[in-house]
A and B are shown apart, each in its own frame.
Chain A
Amino acid sequence: MSHSPKAAISAIEAQFKVLQKVEFRGETSLTVEASKIAEICTFCRDTLGFDFLSDLSGVDHLGEDPRFEVVYELYHMAKSEWLRLKVRVSEDHLELPSVTGVWATADWHEREAFDMYGLRFEGHPDLRRILMWDGYPFHPLRKDFPLAGKPSAMPDVAFSEAAPLEGGPFVTVPSTATVKDREPRARG
């Protein structure tokens, strides 16, 4: 059972500027300044003992400003404590500090966030695309990227085309209704 590390949270609050603090079902998320994230993560690892970066992910809040968000899931092995850090990144300024220097595992996570959202992690040793090929012109997990994809071509490397959606996108409706009503189908 995970529980919020109260001491760690107050230590961060005392040391750094916390923009937002959200508690939900016993889990705490701290939104901090993007420019300070590497510093805060170093503090979390060295002083607070969060020795494992469980996950790093990007989120696109299309229509909001700042548009992007990066979420860091920290884990304290000895105490079995979780801590979630979030930073917001605006579309005009996609740079934020890399945490590869704090946890080496952030390397591929940041490459994926770069690939899918176009976030630029400064100080990353090798910020290349990880899933799509080098030279692919889009960032496909952005909300304004069509589900079907877009055509692109790099001779001898790869190409892509828009997939036929045949009236889609096909989505499932979450509900307790019968399978017939829930099943994936084109919905306007």
Chain B
Amino acid sequence: MAELAPIAYDSKIEGNVVFTQLDAAMNWMRKNSLWPMPMGLACCAIELMASASARFDIARFGSEVMRFSPRQSDVMIVAGTVTYKMALAVKRIWDQMPEPKWCIAMGACASSGGMYRSYSVLQGIDHLIPVDVYISGCPPRPEALIEGLLRLQRKIEKEPALYNQKKALFEELVG
């Protein structure tokens, strides 16, 4: 009588299988390739460019693909002073970004208007767009931007991605 071959075990794929939650896997994939929409409006954009360049190299954290099209972006980095003249254009670009999307307010101006307490400057991009991470500094150094990006990654890690999608789907079906 032939010996029973062990089923449900294959030594060839052992070590290549990882068990995880779907949420965790999705978040892991999302957080490690955050493509930024560089909304460079003032001097913060120079630091943003430095972050992308060789010395600081934001590519180490998966965000090197600066997309100048909102339709291909995941995170909008609002870098600089948002004037009222520009504000609705920023909002329009944000609206063109597909979900899921996040926003980093880089620097004092984008976070709160900064030193421009004046007739022409929007007092923080959070008046128009939900902001995930605020970065202090005028302008913040590239290290600060990278820290902000890492914090955003940590935040994305904890998001109930699938739950949100299901909720949106049900709301669409019901409503």
Interface residues of A (CB under 8 A from B): 131-133, 138, 140, 145-150, 156-161, 163-165, 168-170
Contact = CB atoms under 8 A, between A and B. Distances in A.
A156 B123 CA distance: 19
Contacts of B123: 161, 163-164
Contacts of B120: 131-132, 140, 149, 160
In which size bucket is the chain B interface?
Answer: 10 to 19
Q: Tell me the dominant secondary structure on chain A's binding face.
A: loop
B113 to A, nearest CB: 7
Q: Is the interface of B mostly helix, strand, loop or mixed?
A: loop
B105 interface: no
B120 to A, nearest CB: 7
Contacts of A164: 117, 123
A163 B88 contact: no
Contacts of B113: 163
A145 B119 contact: yes
A163 B119 CA distance: 7
Closest 10 CB pairs of A and B: A149-B119, A160-B84, A163-B117, A140-B119, A158-B84, A133-B85, A158-B85, A163-B123, A158-B88, A165-B117
A161 B119 CA distance: 7
B88 A156 contact: yes
B87 A147 contact: no
A154 to B, nearest CB: 9
B84 to A, nearest CB: 4
Contacts, number: 46
B118 interface: yes
Contacts of A170: 117
Given A161-B123, A163-B113, A163-B123, A147 B118 contact: yes
Nearest to A159: B84
Contacts of B85: 131-133, 158
Contacts of A148: 117-119
B121 interface: yes
Contacts of B118: 147-149, 163
A132 B123 CA distance: 17
Contacts of A157: 88
Contacts of A160: 84, 119-120
A185 to B, nearest CB: 13
Interface in B13-65: none
A162 to B, nearest CB: 8
Nearest to A156: B88
B114 to A, nearest CB: 11
A159 B87 contact: yes
Interface in B73-125: 84-85, 87-88, 113, 117-121, 123
A159 B121 CA distance: 10
19 contacts: A131-B120, A132-B85, A133-B85, A140-B119, A148-B117, A148-B118, A157-B88, A158-B87, A159-B88, A160-B119, A160-B120, A161-B123, A163-B117, A163-B118, A163-B123, A164-B117, A164-B123, A169-B117, A170-B117
